[in-house]
Amino acid sequence: MKCILTFAILFVTALFFGQNNKAEEPAMFIDSKLVSTNSMEYIDPNEIESVNVIKKDTTINGTVYHGQIYIISKNPKKYDFISLEQIKSGFTKIKSNDVIYMVNGALIKNNIETFKLDRNYILEVEVTNSETFYNLRKSDIKFDIINILGKTKENLDTKNNIILRGQEKIGVK
C-alpha cells in the first residue's frame, strides 16, 4: 500500500510540475518566416500590407503555439531577418557563449532562440564586457553585453549630431 501511495504521489507531482513546451503566444510569420512576437516591435506598421489570423493550434519544432498570425509586408524582399546568434558572429568578435542581448537599451529576456531582427534595421552594434563595470571586476562571472542600436529617429539624430567644443571666441580680439 505504501508503494502504491508513493507511486501515485510521484505521478501526480510529475504531471503538475513536468516540463511544458506549450507557448502561450501565437506563431508569428512575416513574409512566411517564423519570428518571435517581440520581434514585431521593430517592424514599421506602415510597411504591413495584410494580416491573416488562423485560430488553430500548431506545433513547430516541438513547441505548441496557440494560433498563427501571417503578416505580409508591402515589399517582401525588403526584410532580411537574422537571429541574435548571427548578429553576434557577424557584427562582433565575441567567441564566448555568455552574452546578454539588448536592443535599443532594452534587455531581451524571452525567446532568444527565435528572436530575429531585420538586418537593414541595425544601425550599430555596441559590445561591453563585464570587466568594464567596477562592481563586476572581481567577480568570477565574465560575460559580454551586446547592445543593438536600431534605426530609430532618436538613434539617427544622435548619430548625425556633431558636437563642437572649444574655449576660443571667434572674431573677438
What is the end-to-end Cα distance of the chain in Å, rounded?
A: 104
Q: Give the Cα separation of 111 and 104 in Å (integer).
A: 17
Picking from 162, 157, 22, 42, the residue whose alpha carbon sits closest to that of residue 103 is 42
Query: Which cell numbers in the block locate residue 58?
Result: 500548431
Q: What is the pLDDT of residues 46-100, one digit of tens each?
A: 888 999 999 988 888 888 888 999 998 888 777 888 888 888 888 888 887 788 8
Picking from 40, 57, 169, the residue whose alpha carbon sits closest to that of residue 116 is 40
The whole-model pTM stands at 0.66
For residues 17 and 55, the model is more confident at: 55
Per this entry, what is the length of the chain?
A: 173
Residues 6+ apart with CB under 8 A from 135: none
For residues 110 and 90, the model is more confident at: 90
Residue 5 pLDDT class (50, 70, 90 cuts): low
- Report the pLDDT value the prediction gives residue 70, as an integer from 0 to 100: 92
For residues 48 and 169, the model is more confident at: 48
Long-range contacts (CB closer than 8 Å, 24 or more residues apart) made by 33-36: 33/79, 33/81, 33/116, 34/60, 34/114, 35/81, 35/114, 35/115, 35/116, 36/110, 36/111, 36/114, 36/115, 36/116
Average pLDDT over residues 106-117: 83
- Report the pLDDT value the prediction gives residue 17, as an integer from 0 to 100: 60
Sort strands 122-129 and 116-118 into parallel, antiparallel or unpaired. unpaired
Residue 163 pLDDT class (50, 70, 90 cuts): low
